[in-house]
Amino acid sequence: MKNAFIAHLSAELVGLKSAGLYKSERVITSPQSSEIELADGGKVLNPHIILDVPTQTD
């Protein structure tokens, strides 16, 4: 039963990825600022800092 469920989930993930509906998360390895560094060595702009968008806190 457990193996069948895992096989089902795996098949669903394959379907989502092939349909372009799957997004991998980026791992941030630097302090958050206007430019952040990612685990893969890339650098990206952080729009929350650049645009001064308030972050939601619960």
Tens digits of residue pLDDT in 1-54: 799 999 999 999 999 999 999 999 999 999 988 899 999 999 999 887 766 666
The reported pTM is: 0.51
What does R_g of the chain's alpha carbons equal in angstroms? 17
Nearest to 26 by CA among 45, 10, 11: 45
pLDDT band at 58 (very low <50, low <70, confident <90, very high): low
Domain residue spans in the chain? 24-58
**H or E stretch at 37:** strand 35-37
**C-beta of residue 17 within 8 angstroms of C-beta of residue 28:** no
